[in-house]
Structure 1
């Protein structure tokens, strides 16, 4: 086993280059050390970053670890990111994303039923941006594709789970009633 300071240095380097949240087991495999030791160092790093009020933080979600910008700095980071370099989502995209987030998994026709307009193009845009993804097909004949929000969606909102969304679901029509309306047309 190598000294903790060397392990920590190497682990911090891996955290900086990781493009997705990573498990202690994956870090341990790369670092050729124990998962327990990696987990301990991850907690140590996260605690130190938090105590020092660093501009970034190390968060654990679902057993996976990743560096993030500090939540308190989100307005500043957003201003930089949106400063002419990225296009904001259109109102149609935001509406579609809200329907998917609150009623997932949903089909395109269910989303269109809630919005009252065709949403194929918007669904493609949200998929390309990585905010929603296909998660399966319905059990019906011909099986329509089912969509749900992604981890990137949660990251962009700065939340850990969909339970942190405001309670708007009662304001949206039930997906089953939309399906029933489609079948009577």
Structure 2
């Protein structure tokens, strides 16, 4: 295969990827496929051309830099339609327990299951197992405490799922606290 339509090849790789794909991953595929040297700089230039093409055309999708890679996503103005679709598919949504557990892991990572359970006040075995199965979290090692419990952190799929580049993009906890979320009288 030759490099006569590199932009189309790169566009196809990004489109076919289930999650964001990095320029390095594209480089590996193209190097093996084309059997000739190709530079990352060349790939990045082609990605910029693809991004510009999708911005210029009146399409519902765009190429977005996400989680250190690239992914085709629906443009923000189509949020209402996509939201309606997601409501209809709500059986596949995360449960309240899963969202709470995932939030704790996202803000406190790396964290042990015992620490999660202490914050939530309930057993989290099932929820942690389901989040691992959905690949929203991963095991990041073992704690240096007695028993060497497993440490959990969010995964790249978590970033894709919530449309963020890093956990730094998560809302700050003080932004989430409102007067409606307090119990009892406030001290002055």
Question: Which interval holds the TM-score relative to the shorter structure?
Answer: 0.7 to 0.9
Identify the match of residue 160 of structure 2 among 155, 159, 167.
155
Change (3 A) 1:100 1:94: same
Structure 2 counterpart of 1:42: 47
Q: Secondary structure at the match of 1:58?
A: strand
Structure 2 counterpart of 1:115: 120
Change (3 A) 1:74 1:105: farther
More relative contact order, 1 or 2 (CA 8 Å, 6+ apart): 2
Identify the match of residue 102 of structure 2 among 97, 105, 118.
97
Alignment of 1:166-185 (within 5 A): 166-168=171-173
Deviations 1:85-111 (A, max 9, x none): 643222211111111111111000000
Structure 2 counterpart of 1:13: 12
TM-score (norm 1): 0.78
Instruction: Give, in angstroms, the shift of residue 52 of structure 1.
Output: 3.0
Change (3 A) 1:30 1:156: closer
Change (3 A) 1:95 1:29: closer
Could you list the structure 1 runs, at least 4 aligned residues long, displaced by more than 4 angstroms after superposition.
Answer: 169-172
Q: Provide structure 2 residue ranges, at least 5 long, that are not aligned to the other structure.
A: 178-188
Instruction: Give, in angstroms, the shift of residue 144 of structure 1.
Output: 0.4
Instruction: Give, in angstroms, the shift of residue 25 of structure 1.
Output: 3.6
Residues 67, 165 of structure 2: 8 Å contact kept: no
Instruction: Give, in angstroms, the shift of residue 120 of structure 1.
Output: 0.9
2: CA distance, partners of 1:69 / 1:171? 27
Cα RMSD (Å) = 2.6
Query: How many residue pairs get matched?
Result: 170
Alignment of 1:51-90 (within 5 A): 51-61=56-66, 63-84=68-89, 86-90=91-95
Deviations 1:124-144 (A, max 9, x none): 111112211111110124210
